[in-house]
Amino acid sequence: MTLLRFEQVVLRRGGRLLFEGMDLVLEPGEALQVAGPNGCGKSSLIRLAAGLLRAERGKVERSPSALADDNLALDRELPLRRALQFWGGAPDEAMETLGIAQLAPVPVRLLSSGQAKRATLARVAASGAWLWLLDEPLNALDADGVERLSRLLDAHRERGGAVLAASHLRLPGEWRLTELAG
């Protein structure tokens, strides 16, 4: 079962061609990192995979997915656990894995940048989606957060999930790499 497929995809934003003829396949257990300079289309590719953008040409097929980008997508007034419960799944396990279980009663608005990034990743982990789309997943994470994310990604892949991540930094673990030109 293929979780994500791009066939001859062309993406243009603001009149600028970001990429054309892109072919991409993600199968269960795979991880693909998209790298390249700022402005080359990494985040746009993630948004296209999430269904938030439309290709000018080509075909995009995706399984249900969970997206972690700069948008927290959590109610800032709710305690963290309740905000995560809105998205379903098992937020307690995800919070524990990411080292933020002690923050369950804290309103989301009071989280630091690093805690908010971990909360965003917990939202994705708790979603139950097989396909995870991560835009700059290492931003705001300390060394402990990076290690916890690495273990979380490994466990997701071992269960048959797949990950597409855009990052200008080397991601921990085993990744196929696709470079976008600037």
For the chain, residues with pLDDT lower than 70 are 182
What is the pLDDT at residue 182? 67
Closest to 28 (Cα-Cα) out of 4, 59, 64: 4
pLDDT digit string, tens, across residues 53-99: 999 999 999 999 999 999 999 999 999 999 999 988 789 999 999 99
Mean pLDDT over each residue of the chain, to the nearest integer: 96
Q: Which two three-digit tokens encode residue 134?
A: 């991560």
CATH fold, domain 4-66, is Rossmann fold (3.40.50)
Q: What is the dihedral of CA 66, 71, 72, 77, to 10 degrees?
A: -130
- All CATH 3.40.50.300 domain ranges of the chain, comma separated, are 4-66, 69-163
- What is the pTM assigned to this prediction? 0.95
Architecture of domain 69-163: 3-Layer(aba) Sandwich (3.40)
